[in-house]
């Protein structure tokens, strides 16, 4: 029996410890092996103990752990360049979790609204959506019951129905600054957006001068057979957030935007570990492996088999 009294209770856990991970398998402290379908809550996009990630982490650990975000570091710059070269975005802010990246996206949209849209601040989100566990991202989420869990909610997040453009139009007013959605709702039950809805939503937001934010924390980093889920629709959003898969198992996330939306000034956004070279070095290995010739094509082939 494990003595776990010092661990704060937040969820039910079995009375075992996981001590080893290799590929698709986990081994507990009793030597029992498990085929791991969860992969760290949808985080380990390359499985356990990926050799490329281990090598990147070890190599960077011998150089510098944490120079502080007051300075540039090489992995930060290289990973940002990798992400922008494989997307329509121009600027990257690194953080530690998907919720933190989404919180940053909310702040960025509101800052842009202050500067360019007469202080507009409302962000339309969707029923059954999930954007994180901070107070603001819980308020943005459409998960049933979350409106009362830590009430009062942060205001400014009216909810539309996914794949229903008319429900979005009904919520737009002079205070609307953005629409935020997951290309595939994860916690809501793996509910995909349609290509038509994504294209029509992009056309609508462009026409009205409203930002489009895609939360790719779960759908990004190869999960759909494309590097980012919104690429299935051929659209170009204004803001994107990444988490989970970008670190392949280490705490790393990212907020990306176009030059036109990059509105932060010193003091607006920060974080003790943002752009940490250890985490960014691992992120480089992950993205390089995902974008290696043939990798995403193999994901598409496996997806086609599993859908038969």
Question: At what angle are helices 295-306 and 277-290 packed, to 10 degrees?
Answer: 70
Cβ contacts of 1-6, under 8 Å, gap ≥ 24:
none
CB 97 within 8 A of CB 243: yes
Contacts of 279 (CB under 8 A, 6+ apart): 94, 96, 247, 250, 251, 252, 273
**Residue 94 among the catalytic residues:** no
Among 94, 130, 157, 264, the one annotated catalytic: 130
Instruction: Give me the residues paired with residue 278 across strands.
Output: none
Show the tokens assigned to 207. 């026409």
Contacts of 19 (CB under 8 A, 6+ apart): 27, 28, 29
Q: Torsion angle of alpha carbons 35, 182, 134, 174, nearest 10°?
A: 180
Report the b/e string of 162-174 with b at 16+ CB within 10 A. bbeeebbeeebee
Among 36, 157, 244, 264, the one annotated catalytic: 244
**Residue 147 among the catalytic residues:** no
Among 93, 111, 126, 215, the one annotated catalytic: 215
Q: How far is CA 138 from CA 145, 176, 233, 242, 290, in A?
A: 10, 19, 27, 17, 30
CB 252 within 8 A of CB 280: yes
**Residue 215 among the catalytic residues:** yes
Q: Which residues are catalytic?
A: 130, 215, 244
């Amino acid at each position: 029996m494990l003595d776990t009294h010092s661990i704060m209770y937040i969820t039910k856990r079995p009375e075992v410890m996981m001590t080893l991970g290799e590929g698709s398998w986990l081994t507990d402290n009793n030597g029992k092996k498990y085929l791991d379908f969860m992969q760290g809550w949808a985080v380990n996009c390359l499985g356990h103990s990926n050799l490329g990630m281990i090598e990147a982490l070890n190599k960077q650990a011998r150089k510098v752990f944490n120079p502080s975000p007051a300075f540039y570091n090489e992995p930060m710059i290289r990973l940002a360049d990798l992400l922008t070269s494989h997307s329509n975005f121009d600027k990257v802010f690194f953080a530690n979790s998907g919720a933190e990246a989404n919180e940053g996206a909310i702040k960025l949209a509101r800052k842009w609204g202050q500067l360019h849209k007469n202080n507009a601040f409302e962000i339309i989100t969707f029923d059954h959506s999930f954007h994180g566990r901070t107070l603001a991202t819980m308020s943005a989420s459409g998960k049933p019951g979350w409106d009362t869990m830590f009430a009062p909610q942060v205001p400014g997040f009216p909810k539309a129905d996914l794949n229903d453009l008319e429900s979005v139009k009904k919520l737009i007013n002079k205070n609307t600054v953005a629409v935020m959605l997951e290309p595939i709702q994860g916690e809501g039950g793996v509910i995909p957006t349609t290509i038509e809805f994504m294209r029509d939503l992009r056309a609508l937001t462009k026409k009205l001068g409203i930002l489009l934010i895609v939360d790719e924390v779960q759908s990004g980093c190869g999960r759909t057979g494309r590097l980012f889920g919104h690429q299935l629709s051929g659209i170009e959003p204004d803001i994107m957030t990444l988490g989970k898969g970008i670190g392949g198992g280490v705490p790393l996330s990212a907020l990306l935007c176009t030059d036109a939306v990059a509105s932060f000034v010193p003091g607006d956004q920060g974080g003790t570990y943002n752009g940490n070279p250890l985490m960014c070095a691992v992120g480089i290995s992950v993205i390089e492996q995902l974008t290696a010739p043939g990798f995403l094509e193999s994901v598409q082939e496996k997806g086609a088999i599993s859908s038969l």
